[in-house]
Structure 1
Amino acid sequence: MLPLGALLLGLGLWAGCAADAETRVGETVVARVGEGVITLDDVAEAYAEVVVRAGAPGGAGALNEVVEGLVSRQLLIEEARADGIEQTAEYRAARDLAETKALVDLYTATTLGDELAVTDADLRETFAQMNTTYDARHLYARDHATAEALRVRLLAGETFEALARETFADSALAASGGHLGAFGHDEMDPSFEAVAFRLPIGEVSEPVRTATGYSVIRVDARTTNPLLTEDAFATKIDQVRRYVRKRKRNDARFRLSRTVRDDLAPRFDEAAFDRLVAFATGVAPGLDAEALAQWRRTPLVRFDSDALAADAWTVGDVEDRAATMTERQRAAVQDGASLRAFIEGLLVREELTARARGAGLDRDPRLARIVSDQMAEWTFEVAKRRLRLADDIPADSLRATIAAHPDLYRMPERVRAREILVRTRADADGLLARLLAGESFDALARAHSLRLGAATAGGDLGPVTRAQLGRMAEAVFAAAPGTVVGPTEVEGRYALIERGETLPSRPMTVAEAEPFAREALDIPFAQRRLVAAVARLRERFSIRVDRDALAPLLDAVSAARS
């Protein structure tokens, strides 16, 4: 198990402790690292996260480990700042995003202040949830109507086992009837857990809105630690309060976003939107400069807003705003549904930012502090990423790992496959009829498949495993070579798979095994590099820790544990 300080660095959860000293006037400073400071509140926040969320044991020893972890973290931030990261275009772009997020956060807190209050009942229920484990099943749907239809079918007597095979692309969930196994606190979406905590055993829930869609849940077993006492509650109450406050902020932001989306009532030009999907998924060919300029002027979405200057966005407006989102957010766009949700998210973000500025929150003195904290976290993540990439894992270590675990480094049985992915069952049925009539799979895939790159590859997926095929695996592997399997519903779209030859299981070559071995060795090697970097930086930057400043927190921890 990693030392607590290493765990702290690995989690990367705390956005404080990088502001300049003058922005911390009036706060108790626990440590000064280079130009940055670590305050008592930073330590308390990090301690609460480690003890409550990461499950580390509490106490004075843990508190000191947290301080050392924050000092190590700050050293990486100080090095990045000293080496000029704040003068880069990447930093400026990230800061613009941080300011937008901070404005949205301030607007949320101002608008929904009453909903953010933490009550004693909140604390007690959350403490009980933290000590509860569940055994549950669920069915997933992208929208409320589909989830409700699944619930009605369950209440009419159909089983989770049968419906899971229709619902999940994930082969494990499809085969297990949506069985999640045993899970505990903070392992599932907060909304999912809240329902699972209250739902009577064996009952089917109403559709539950989560961050990714909707779930219909059945809890088969639930166990809460029977030894919970008032003393145990008192031991963790400060940490629980911080956790509840953070969760309420996140929940409030999510609810406000949904409300604003409904207020905006976005209305898409379907022809323009379908064409944008075709471009995004690689189905449509590229455009020359003149056609591209004209395309960018095409109206795409209209909306209702008193805060924004315009009441419509063109394709160019959307593309320009999408460029300001993170790579992870842009990568989540895989199809029409996710693209629509992405654009609506851009609209909500801009509307909330405009409302915040209209309310004068861009002049709120808290804004600079929030942005500074968020940029500290961003700088820390960049510093960690650079450190991880700076020194490769030795080739002899990779080869030794592969040789020592031959059973882990085997290529599973695979089949060659080609795919056509379309929006509707009717489209899929029509294409299947044309395939059965003798038309070319390659040509139809190039012309019609929504899958990224299909227009170039003719739908060729190459050799695929059972895990990659998800719930289509059994049907595809059981089919004869040359057979077309489907149509099968896959997350709101419909797939046709042409089954090719079988490639039996075999030992991986060193080149094939190397990425998996590298992944296995990445964490221990990264940890060594981190320790070495921190030791080096202790010589470069001054560190002053005031242990006496920890006294109020130490007293609170000791009192809670006594």
Structure 2
Amino acid sequence: MVARIFNVRNKENLIGKYFLFLSLSCFINCAQFTFADIQNNSSPDTLALIGYKVITSENYIYSYKNKLVKLGLTDNFETRKGYLLNMVQDEILIRQAYESGLDKTVESQNELKRIQVQELLNAFSDKHISTKINITDNELKDLFVKVNTKIKVRHLYASSKEEADRLYNQLLDGKTFVELAQNIFQDQELKETGGLIGYITIDEMDPDFERAAYALKVGEISKPVKTVRGYSIIKVEDKISNPFVTQSEYLKAYDKLKAFARKRVYEELTKEFSQSLSAKLNIQFDEKNVSLLYEYIKHGFIGASVENSFNVSEYDLDKIFVTSAMGSWNIKRATNELNTISEKQKKWIRTEENLKDFIAGLINREYILQKAKKEKLDELTSYKENVRENFDSYLLSIVENKIIEKIKIPGDSVKAFYAGNLKLFASSPEIKLSSILLDDKIISDSIKVMLVSGVDFALLAGKYSIQKIPAERGGDIGYYKKDELENFGDEIFRLKKDEWIGPLSFEGKYLFIKCTGYKQSSVKSLEESYGEIERWLANAKWYKEKDKYVDSLKEKIETKIFFDKLTKIKI
């Protein structure tokens, strides 16, 4: 019942179980030992030796526990053994990357610099931001309610605040979402439906979009909301709360809820810190030159070769773009700084406002890095370990990608897998329900008597149900799959259309359920599934090829694994 943020019902998860164990992989911190130490196996904490490196039980337990939760694995000896083997394989490939000189390439050295910067920023955040995070039980309970509430939303998109304000005023003047969407969206479906997104839940949209949407009542329209893409004006069309949530389910989800809540609070605190720092540094832009640089970006100036058809004069490059307490940046400096971000990040620069946000962020970054170095955060052992771990992960990905590039999946293999595993491509049947939720046994007994005597279910739901929004819709709570109905799944799915059951009793509440319809299971076609199958088969073959390659490397890298010690580890 815990929604998609925890991926417990993600379609990819169900199908992906076919290759679940193959997906185990991790990047570890390995301590340095002398050759004599390794040969003598002087430490009882040692689980594996790879040349001069060692995997300790501390390394193993930290990574293994995280994977158990993330992948939903059962802890047993075979799982522990398989995970340790994957850790050893990764270390062998990382060592091969170093011996092949992959760490010395221009690309790798640039990536190392990027990692060093990012980890220094992370160290600063850990010291100055993360310590301020405080999550209360009430906040977690509120999050749990939202996780179990779907909202139906539509929106209008604008790239700038001015455009968003204009659209909002038109809505106030009586224009409809459908009318305005015609001139906003390129997507035909969004044009025709008035920007209808459909039902969403927690962690499916931009956090600011989500926060604004969940704060609205049904029928309400938000003021322009700034997101990473621009601005959205949001309207909530419907809300459906799951009536089957229980206290025990909340307790089961508690740790994951808390981790997600910490992530969201951290993001919000980081944004607030950034805004405060920008004000402190008094960042001021020359609007004319912002427009000029934005035009350069649109024409491919950033990262482009000198042969680019859009010519940029030295005169323009010298123009002051932004001033702050950190000094002045001309267009050339701003361009050079923008070239330090990834191509993926550059694609988010879609408006002049985006450009200013990015540059302000880069100025903030420069200030933070200077402050972090003054505080000697780059001398911390944890910082150095994180840099090395992330750089090792990067080198590992290079080696793995070289293996992947050689893999080809024949079309016949895709067809054969599809034909032999049709159940993997079938959607689950769904039942449409109406509910009456009560917290009083006497009223519950009376409702049952009235239902038996033929009183309309929708009428009673509207009058007595303690769930306000479903009550307004005659009890309608939408479609559910069997696994979303907890212990009541089998019983409810035996209902025929227009049949009801109840009261179902749990945790002091009483629930009546009526079936109002069904959606039958359907199977995706081979054409719809082809790309997914190709990726899965390539993934499976990749692990076999990886095993072969690692085995060939073991001839020159002395490796020893102490599987017997896994039984003594406490997880």
User: Shorter chain as normaliser: what TM range?
Assistant: 0.5 to 0.7
Cα 1:236–1:516, aligned 2, differ >3 Å: closer, same or farther? closer
Helix, strand or coil at the partner of 1:90: helix
**Counterparts of 1:203 and 1:351, CA distance in 2:** 41
Matched letter for residue 354 of structure 1? Q
Corresponding position of 1:535: 547
Residue 125 of structure 1 pairs with residue 142 of structure 2:
yes
Secondary structure class of the residue paired with 2:182: helix
Query: Do residues 302 (structure 1) and 353 (structure 2) align?
Result: no
Specify whether residues 373 and 255 from structure 1 end up closer, same or farther in structure 2 by C-alpha distance, changes over 3 A only.
farther
> Is the CA contact (8 Å cut-off) linking 1:141 and 1:214 kept in structure 2?
yes
2:277 maps to 1:260: yes
Contact 1:17–1:36 (8 Å) recurs in 2:
no
Cα separation, 2, equivalents of 1:236 and 1:74 = 32
What does residue 487 of structure 2 align with? none
Distance 1:60 1:260, change over 3 A: same
CA distance in 2, matches of 1:188, 1:11: 28
**1:322 aligned onto 2:338:** yes
Q: How many corresponding residue pairs?
A: 420
Separation in 2 of the partners of 1:39 and 1:283?
46
Matched, 1:203 2:213: no
The answer as to 2:348 corresponding to 1:346 is no
* Alpha-carbon distance between aligned partners in 1 of 2:142 and 2:78, rounded to the nearest angstrom: 29
For 1:147 and 1:216, how far apart are their aligned partners in 2? Answer: 7
Q: Which residue of 2 aligns with 1:151?
A: 168
Q: For 1:268-307, what aligned pairs fall within 5 Å after superposition?
A: 268-270=285-287, 272-282=289-299, 294-295=314-315, 298-305=318-325
Q: State the 1:523 CA deviation.
A: 1.0
Contact 2:409 2:538 in 1 (8 A): no
Instruction: Give the corresponding residue for 2:64.
Output: 43
Partners of 1:393 and 1:379 lie apart in 2 by: 25
- Once residues 177 and 160 of structure 1 are traced to their aligned partners in structure 2, the CA distance between those partners, rounded to angstroms, is 5
Larger RCO, structures 1/2 (Cα 8 Å, 6+ apart): 1
**Residue 375 in 1 paired to residue 391 in 2?**
yes
Distance 1:300 1:155 in 2: 40
Distance 1:300 1:386, change over 3 A: farther
**What is the alpha-carbon distance in structure 1 between the residues aligned to residue 178 and residue 81 of structure 2?**
49
Other structure's SS at 2:245 match: coil
Root-mean-square deviation (CA, aligned residues, Å) is 4.2
Q: Secondary structure at the match of 2:365?
A: helix
Structure 2 residues without counterparts, runs of 5 or longer = 1-13, 34-43, 418-526
Q: Relative to 1, partners in 2 of residues 1:110 and 1:327: Cα closer, same or farther, differing over 3 Å?
A: same
Q: Per the alignment, in what secondary structure is the counterpart of residue 124 of structure 1? A: helix
Given the two structures, how large is their TM-score scaled by the length of structure 2? 0.62
| 1:471-496 deviation digits (Å, cap 9, x = unpaired) | xxxxxxxxxxxxxxxxxxxxxxxxxx
State whether residues 205 and 217 of structure 1, in contact with CA within 8 Å, keep that contact through their aligned partners in structure 2: yes
Pairs within 5 Å for 1:169-248: 169-248=186-265
Report the Cα offset of residue 180 of structure 1.
Answer: 0.9
For the residues of structure 2 that align with 1:207 and 1:378, how far apart are their CA atoms?
40
Cα distance, 1:203–1:266 mapped onto 2, change above 3 Å: same
SS in 2 for 1:303: strand
From the superposition, tell whether residues 156 and 7 of structure 1 become closer, same or farther in structure 2 (CA, over 3 Å).
Answer: farther
CA contact (8 A) 1:77 1:383 kept: no
Task: Give the % identical residues.
Answer: 22
TM-score normalised by structure 1 residue count: 0.63
| Matched residue, 1:551 | 570
* Post-superposition CA distance 1:256-309 (Å, at most 9, x none): 3333334444444455544444443339999799x979458613323222xx4x
State the alpha-carbon separation in 1 of the partners of residues 84 and 168 from structure 2: 47
User: What's the counterpart of residue 79 of structure 1?
Assistant: 93
Match of 1:111 in 2: 128
Could you tell me how far apart the structure 2 residues matched to 1:33 and 1:132 are?
Answer: 49
**SS of 2:237's equivalent?**
strand
Structure of larger gyration radius: 2
CA distance in 2, matches of 1:250, 1:161: 33
Q: After TM superposition, give the deviation of residue 79 of structure 1 in Å.
A: 0.7
